Amino acid sequence: MQLGMIGLGRMGANMVRRLQKGDHECVVYDVREEAINNLLSPGISGASSLDDLVAKLQKPRVIWLMVPAALVDQDLALLAPLLDAGDIIIDGGNSYYHDDIRRGKELTSQQIHYVDVGTSGGVAGLDRGYCLMIGGEKEIVIHLDPIFATLAPGSAAASPTPGRD
């Protein structure tokens, strides 16, 4: 599956690397050109701007914001006008849920899907996987499942609780 990733800090960059290992194609953007250049490799291409990122993604576009919660509204204000009906925005930060509800309603009025995915795992997530707390429209979440399955730890990441299957 193809995904655009905005925000290439420690977690965003490692999430892209994990997705690449899972045979997903990523188009990446960050305000720091060096962060983009550090990821360029087969399956990962860079974008020079939000316009460029959107142009490089196939419709319906899937764009994951991995930026601090305080920047999400600012980034959405720049990104949403570039998108078309049916495109999907994922907020991977740990935004306050009232903000996610508001954002979802605002984007729905533009026929853009919004999925909030609180993400935890830090720098160890590249190898161990990420805990994903997913909220969104059922059919959109199902569509995105290949991405979530690649990022999640999987059953081999931790021993089962004694006495449980």
CA dihedral 64, 69, 71, 76 (to 10 degrees): 50
Please, are residues 65 and 75 in contact by the beta-carbon 8 Å criterion?
Answer: yes
Return d(Cα 65, Cα 21) in angstroms, integer.
Answer: 20
Kindly give the confidence (pLDDT) of every residue in the chain, 165 residues in length, as a single tens digit, with 9 standing for 90 and above: 999 999 999 899 999 999 999 999 999 999 999 999 999 999 999 999 999 999 999 999 999 999 988 899 999 999 999 999 999 999 998 888 888 889 999 999 999 999 999 999 888 888 999 999 999 999 999 999 999 999 998 777 777 778 877
pLDDT of residue 163: 83
Name every residue whose Cβ is closer than 8 Å to that of residue 69 and which is 6 or more positions away in sequence. Answer: 93, 94, 95, 96, 99
pLDDT of residue 98: 87
**pTM, two decimal places:** 0.92
Residue 81 tokens read as: 């006008």
Candidates 30, 23, 89, 10; CA nearest to 57 is 89
Straight-line distance from the first to the last Cα atom of the chain, in angstroms, rounded to the nearest whole number: 31
pLDDT of residue 35: 97
Q: Is 112 helix (H, G, I), strand (E, B) or coil?
A: coil
